[in-house]
Structure 1
Amino acid sequence: MKSSVSIALAVAAFAGLSISAPARASADLAQKKNCMSCHTVQKKVVGPAFKDVAAKYAGQKDATERLTQKVLKGGSGAWGPVFMPAMKDANPPVSEAEARQLVQWVMQQK
């Protein structure tokens, strides 16, 4: 009986870690991929604050795909004249899977 309780607690602890890990992993990924050179979560720097991006695109069904492509290909106009370079060509480059993970994390910011 004691063993099954220990296993249940271990599974619950692991589940809690796996639920919170992606958000932290994405913040770390944003740092690693130099996103934080131009963005922060709470306020505009060169590019918009991630919380503002999340608010602007909240509820839009195609937001993740559109923003993933924006990260990969770059662009300008949505937030003013400052150009966002194509992150697929950046150093270090951002893969499509990483861009999608970053966008999903950004869309969770408040």
Structure 2
Amino acid sequence: MRRGVAVAVAASVLMGGALTGLGVSAARAADAPRGQLVANANACMGCHAVDRKLVGPSFQQIAAKYKGDAQAQAKLARKVKEGGSGVWGMIPMPAHQTMSDADIRTVVDWVLAGAPSR
């Protein structure tokens, strides 16, 4: 496999999408913020979407709720690592104890920025 194709395949897999066109998938992966890439790679998108509620709140709803909260980064990092329930309803958020602290910070910072696509 050529190196460029291998990179495009890896980027598409990391983004969690099907390989519909190497150019499109690779371009999307290259343009995506690191927080979004880490969220995709750690199954965050199974319960959360950027702009709509799924099982849990959207990332944009989370950003709005914690806007102006100086402790938001620490609170959300702890919630990701340890899991919990009650803030957004009765469905618990599972713990992500195998996620590195650096990856958690990356995702939380991205979410608190409003989960921008670029």
Q: Map 1:27-46; keep pairs closer than 5 Å.
A: 27-46=36-55
**Where in structure 2 are there 5+ consecutive unaligned residues?**
1-29
Q: Map 1:6-85; keep pairs closer than 5 Å.
A: 24-85=33-94
TM-score by length of 1: 0.73
TM-score by length of 2: 0.69
Greater fraction helix: 1
Over aligned residues, Cα RMSD in angstroms?
Answer: 1.4
Aligned partners of 1:29 and 1:46: how far apart in 2? 19
**Residue 97 of structure 1, CA deviation:** 1.4
- Rg comparison, structure with higher value: 1
Q: Identity of paired residues, percent?
A: 44
Aligned residues: 85
Aligned partners of 1:42 and 1:75: how far apart in 2? 22
**Where in structure 1 are there 5+ consecutive unaligned residues?**
1-20
**Residue 95 of structure 1, CA deviation:** 1.2
Name the counterpart of 1:107: 112
Instruction: Give 1:85's aligned amino acid.
Output: P
